[in-house]
Amino acid sequence: LPALDVARLRQDFPILQRAVHGQPLVYLDNAATSQKPWSVIEAERHYYAHYNANIHRGVHQMSQEATEAYEAARDRVRDFIHASSREEIIFTRGTTESINLVASSFGQRLQAGDEILITEMEHHSNIVPWQLLCQRSGALLRVAPIDDAGQLCVEQFAKLLGPRTRLVALSHMSNALGSINPVKKLVNLAHQVGAVVLLDGAQAVAHLPVNVMDIDCDFYAFSGHKLYGPTGIGVLYARRAILDSMPPYQGGGDMIREVRFAGSSWNDLPYKFEAGTPNIAGGIGLGAALDYVGGVGLAAIAAHESELLRYATALAGEFPGLTQIGTAADKGAILSFTLAGIHPHDIGTILDSCGVAVRTGHHCAMPVMEHFGVPATVRASFALYNTRHEIDTLFQGLTKAREMFG
Ligand code: PMP
């Protein structure tokens, strides 16, 4: 696999030219949101400047152009995750809305005593919608534990599956720990008890090739903005047979076939689940992001990032007082840690003064923090445009933090 020409790729991201507090920006908060290449920024600008119109309705030229561009983006998403048909690709606002869609629509078939199985490493957006569904339906939430490396305990997971398990929802890759779950195996275990499986792919899609047919999951959710695309656009993939049997999520324009006061009927898939004017520019921008990622190559991106992670992990191992949180054998490009005697927030502030952007806090995964007995961690997360030099800058900043607070 040829190495990425990172110096050249960095030219594609205008924001990487800026300074923060007089220092060159070192952006290591990619798990929160990644930066956007010119091609994505241009795709949105071009839509607004040249063919801004509502979609799926007008006979006029611009409406047709906008519809074609938006629907072409759907085809690219289908391609990107290897879904069998475009009808299985629903555009949403992001991972959070995709999960809420499943909880409100699919969730209507859950009854008191049914069980939903999640894991201890989930993001709040893959916990709270299920808690709300449990409150509405009387279903019970079960939680599969993680071990002290931050890996799912697969045996415990298997034991928690049973005849009452209707739905299993888990992350493909953890945002707080970087752990990658053996999803194909887990899906297979869940299917053996007849449960339906939703995978939260918010982190995974930017770091590993995803093939939903091979994984055999029933739902797969992700956001555009962590994948070099715009905010406010995301995807829910769902198996066609399940979508056919699900009631609509929101009501409104575009999701109907006919509306009468006596009752309405629903549009074909995927439009049945897409009420109202969508984020047209965002969809077009997401299509451009997928073209960009496809052009660079996810396998090459993954290889570059795992090299960065190896390098950062080695430096972390030698750094006095540093404890890594999340040391899974199979791990994406996330380094989460604490430094003895220094609050993560103070570390974040010192790093910021060095131009280094990291995330500090609970990373919307409070149960993970509770498992490790810490209120917060510092999280450095890598993307295709990061370099070893930037990781050196991170550790110089940590040395400065230790000198000031340690
Ligand atoms: N799940 C995971 C694993 C995430 O990392 C995130 C974003 N931090 C989400 C869900 C929620 O994504 P969004 O805020 O884009 O809806």
pLDDT digits (tens, 9 = 90+) for 139-182: 999 999 999 999 999 999 999 999 999 999 999 999 999 999 99
Q: Is the CB of 167 under 6 A from ligand 1?
A: no
**Is the predicted pLDDT of residue 2 greater than 90, yes or no?**
no
Q: Is the CB of 100 under 6 A from ligand 1?
A: no
Q: Is the CB of 200 under 6 A from ligand 1?
A: yes
Q: Which of ligand 1's atoms lies nearest the C-alpha of 363?
A: 8
Q: Which of ligand 1's atoms lies nearest the C-alpha of 231?
A: 15
Confidence of residue 1 (pLDDT cuts 50, 70, 90): confident
**Ligand 1 test: best mutation among 174, 198, 364, most atoms within 8 Å of CB?**
364
Q: Which of ligand 1's atoms lies nearest the C-alpha of 234?
A: 15
Compute the average pLDDT of residues 309-313.
98
Q: Which of ligand 1's atoms lies nearest the C-alpha of 364?
A: 8
Q: What rounded mean pLDDT belongs to the chain?
A: 97
**Quick one: which of 137, 139, 142, 133 has its CA closest to 103?**
133
Q: Is the CB of 223 under 6 A from ligand 1?
A: yes
pLDDT at 235: 98
Question: From atom 14 of ligand 1, which residue's Cα is the shortest distance away?
Answer: 96
φ/ψ of residue 167, rounded to 5: -145, 140
Question: Hey, how many other C-beta atoms are within 10 angstroms of the C-beta on 374?
Answer: 16
Q: Is the CB of 324 under 6 A from ligand 1?
A: no
Question: Is the whole model's pTM more than 0.90, yes or no?
Answer: yes
Q: Is the CB of 96 under 6 A from ligand 1?
A: yes
**Is the predicted pLDDT of residue 279 greater than 90, yes or no?**
yes
**Is the predicted pLDDT of residue 199 greater than 90, yes or no?**
yes
pLDDT at 185: 98
**Ligand 1 test: best mutation among 34, 91, 92, 125, most atoms within 8 Å of CB?**
125
pLDDT at 384: 98
Compute the average pLDDT of residues 231-258.
97
Q: Is the CB of 171 under 6 A from ligand 1?
A: yes
Q: Which of ligand 1's atoms lies nearest the C-alpha of 171?
A: 3
CA distance 342 to 184: 40
Compute the average pLDDT of residues 218-232.
98
262 CA from centroid of ligand 1 (Å): 40
Q: Is the CB of 125 under 6 A from ligand 1?
A: yes
Q: For 46-62, write each residue's pLDDT tens digit.
A: 999 999 999 998 899 99
Q: Is the CB of 203 under 6 A from ligand 1?
A: yes
Q: Is the CB of 119 under 6 A from ligand 1?
A: no
Residue 153 appears among annotated catalytic residues:
no
**Ligand 1 test: best mutation among 33, 175, 181, most atoms within 8 Å of CB?**
175
Q: Which of 134, 217, 354, 364 is catalytic?
A: 364
CA distance 239 to 89: 9
**Ligand 1 test: best mutation among 30, 93, 96, 233, most atoms within 8 Å of CB?**
96
364 CA from centroid of ligand 1 (Å): 8
pLDDT at 32: 98
Query: What Å distances lie between residue 65 and 29, 53, 61, 332, 386, CA to CA?
Result: 35, 8, 6, 38, 36
